[in-house]
A = this chain, B = another copy of it.
């Protein structure tokens, strides 16, 4: 396949187009501006629609509308803009509308810093909005992976009728790398996908009360509402069984295991190689789906050998580390290597963190 040189944001947008995304609405915010800007150029070429919404809220709701009519649709933003979308995402989860959105995380809280961070982990994985719904959350650590995960995200969204989140960060969004792109889905397939949703999509139906489309992000009747919650739960539970994605790298004989996602995961992988070269048996667990979280990967660690786990993330306070701890269940020490506020994880800091564990200094 031909290598092309692409920026993360643009690669995500192109992958979406190739997956059949034909509606994008977004609002400017650094460091994800290249996503809407790319769609602005690209959508007219494929007969899709790009709109710059008047706000993040308008944008997510435009996507909620487009997706409710069966169109593959997407929005994106960064951190504080994602907070604004949380009501709309919650609506989509409640009404079981498939849509994809991307958070190119920056420093926080608040307006924070426009530089890269991983400070929205809990929001992404535990509480994308009100009401306790869950989503599949993909965390790419290279531009190529961002492409592949985005491309696949639309299938998951449609399968589950649920929002799917691409949890990127400012590094992934703004860096450029050689990548190869998946095939463009033919128009016929894209049309077929839309047709397959007509049974529930809101586009007009013959006069037929019970079979009309009624997109319901809530229910008058509490029994119906609970039933909707229970049905959603079944979907969420199936992910744990079928859809966990993780990179397990040299954990079999590891005396120390690094764990990190997204850009930190990539930096950690490089650190593992350096540590191995230096004679330290390091391994890595890098969740690719941070929701569902790959708990069982941590069961593969040989805790008799393993001196400790180093959980690495660009967030203070630590967030990802809480899930790592849940997975490790006190079978060995978990320590953290953190930075935040737009500072990028330093490989050296990771290596130092590992050494501290090896030397029993934590």
A130 and B121 CA atoms in complex are apart in Å by 9
Chain B, residue nearest A85 (CB)? B83
B-facing mask of A135-179, CB < 8 A → 1, else 0?
A: 000000000000000000000000000000000000000000000
Given contacts A132-B319, A222-B342, A229-B317, 9 further A-B contacts (CB under 8 A): A83-B86, A94-B110, A110-B131, A112-B217, A113-B221, A113-B225, A119-B131, A219-B341, A229-B340
B-facing mask of A76-92, CB < 8 A → 1, else 0?
A: 00011011101100111
Q: Do B315 and A223 have beta carbons less than 8 Å apart?
A: no
Q: Which residues of the partner chain B approach A133 to less than 8 Å between Cβ atoms?
A: 108-109
A93 and B325 CA atoms in complex are apart in Å by 26
Contacting residue for A132 out of B108, B115, B227, CB 8 A: B108
Q: Do B113 and A93 have beta carbons less than 8 Å apart?
A: no
| A220 within 8 Å of B (CB atoms) | yes
Interchain Cβ contacts under 8 Å between A and B, 14 examples:
A79-B131, A82-B130, A86-B86, A90-B109, A108-B132, A111-B217, A119-B131, A127-B127, A132-B315, A132-B319, A226-B341, A226-B342, A227-B341, A233-B317
Q: Do B109 and A120 have beta carbons less than 8 Å apart?
A: no
Q: Which residues of the partner chain B approach A217 to less than 8 Å between Cβ atoms?
A: 109-112
Q: Do A129 and B109 have beta carbons less than 8 Å apart?
A: yes
B-facing mask of A302-346, CB < 8 A → 1, else 0?
A: 000000000000011101001001100110000000011111000
4 closest A-B pairs by beta carbon, nearest first, are: A108-B131, A109-B131, A225-B341, A94-B110
Chain B, residue nearest A107 (CB)? B225
Q: Do A236 and B79 have beta carbons less than 8 Å apart?
A: no
Q: Do A222 and B107 have beta carbons less than 8 Å apart?
A: yes
| A95 within 8 Å of B (CB atoms) | yes
Number of copies: 2
Q: Do B91 and A110 have beta carbons less than 8 Å apart?
A: yes
Chain B, residue nearest A222 (CB)? B342
User: Count of chain A residues with Cβ under 8 Å from any Cβ of B?
Assistant: 66
| A224 within 8 Å of B (CB atoms) | yes
Q: Do A130 and B126 have beta carbons less than 8 Å apart?
A: no
* Minimum distance in angstroms from A349 CB to a CB of chain B: 12
B-facing mask of A48-64, CB < 8 A → 1, else 0?
A: 00000000010000000
| A123 within 8 Å of B (CB atoms) | yes
A225 and B224 CA atoms in complex are apart in Å by 45
Q: Do A316 and B90 have beta carbons less than 8 Å apart?
A: no
Question: Known contacts being A123-B127, A316-B230, A341-B222, is A111 close to B91, with CB within 8 Å?
Answer: yes
For A110, A132, A329, A330, which residue has the most chain B Cβ atoms within 10 angstroms?
Answer: A110
| A134 within 8 Å of B (CB atoms) | yes
Q: Do B109 and A222 have beta carbons less than 8 Å apart?
A: no
